[in-house]
Structures are given as structure tokens and as C-alpha cells.
Amino acid sequence: MADFNRVILMGNLTRDPEVRYTKEEMPVVHFTIACNRIYTDRNTGEKKTQVSFIPVVVFGNQARNCSQFLQKGSKVLVEGRIINRNWETSAGEKRSRLEVYARIVQFLSRAPGSDGITYDENVELSEEDIVEEPPEPSENNGDVPF
């Protein structure tokens, strides 16, 4: 049987997107979204909220759009796949991190403090905007690759 790796998340950005570039000058944007789960505690009947903070990576033209139109507090819907990245720091420590490599990022609300422009429509993407296989991370001296 074939494997399947697809995730759909909706949440708010916890900070402004951070844009970087690969050696080939492809834009790569990193941001984290907070996804809330509201549930009722079985013992007390009290409503509780559980928050998950999920790192997202976006490549190519879509990354450029995210860096231009998103900011802390923006609500987004992200469709992509989960990746487990492993690397070694310059001090020789092994690190790993689960991330979502976004295939599609849909802007669901305008950014707080924006000029009144709403971004609640799906941004039209052409085939070249969607990066199926992102480039390999370049070498660096920090804890997190590229």
C-alpha cells in the first residue's frame, strides 16, 4: 500500500514571516502558526484550550507573496506535507525538527494594522508557483539550516 503525507492546518501567524534565499536565489519563507483546540475537560466539565505551534516553510513565488502580504496575527490555511529535518550544529550536536512544507498557503484574513485591503480570497497560483520538491538546505553555521 502507498504512503500518504498531507496535512491541512488553519491558524494565525505567531510572528512576521522570515524570508531567506537559497544559493539559487529562490525565496524561502519561515513562519509559525498557532492552531487552537478547544475541548471540555471530562473530569471538571471546564472548557480548555490547547495550542499547538507549528513551523511552516514556503518556497518560490508563494514565499514571496507570504512575505509581502502576511504578518503576525494573519489567519492562514496551509496545505502541505510534514518533513522531519535532521542536522548537526557547528558544535557537533544533533538536532531535528518537524516542519510543514507548504504546497498552498491561502490567506484567510487581512493582516492586523493593514491598510484595509482584505486577503480573504484564494491567491491564484500558476503551476510554476507550486514547488513540489524544495531545494536541499544549504550549509550554514547556525542551529537551523537555511
Strands 27-40 and 75-88 come out as unpaired
* List of domains in the chain: 7-129 (2.40.50.140)
Question: Is residue 29 predicted with pLDDT exceeding 50?
Answer: yes
| Interval 58-76 mean pLDDT | 94
Strands (E), 14-144: 18-21, 27-40, 47-59, 75-88, 94-107
Q: Contact at 8 Å (CB) between 101 and 32?
A: no
Question: Is residue 12 predicted with pLDDT exceeding 60?
Answer: yes
Q: Contact at 8 Å (CB) between 70 and 95?
A: no
Residues near 85 by beta carbon (within 8 Å), at least 6 away in sequence: 96, 97, 99, 137, 145
- Nearest Cα to Cα of residue 97 among 34, 23, 30: 30
Query: What gap in Å lies between CA 54 and CA 31, rounded to an integer?
Result: 8
The predicted structure's pLDDT at residue 135? 58
Mean of the per-residue pLDDT values of the chain: 83
Query: What gap in Å lies between CA 1 and CA 55, rounded to an integer?
Result: 29
Q: Which range among 29-38, 73-82, 84-93, 136-145 shows the weakest confidence by mean pLDDT?
A: 136-145
The predicted structure's pLDDT at residue 128? 54
Q: Give tens-digit pLDDT for 107-117.
A: 997 645 555 44
The predicted structure's pLDDT at residue 124? 47
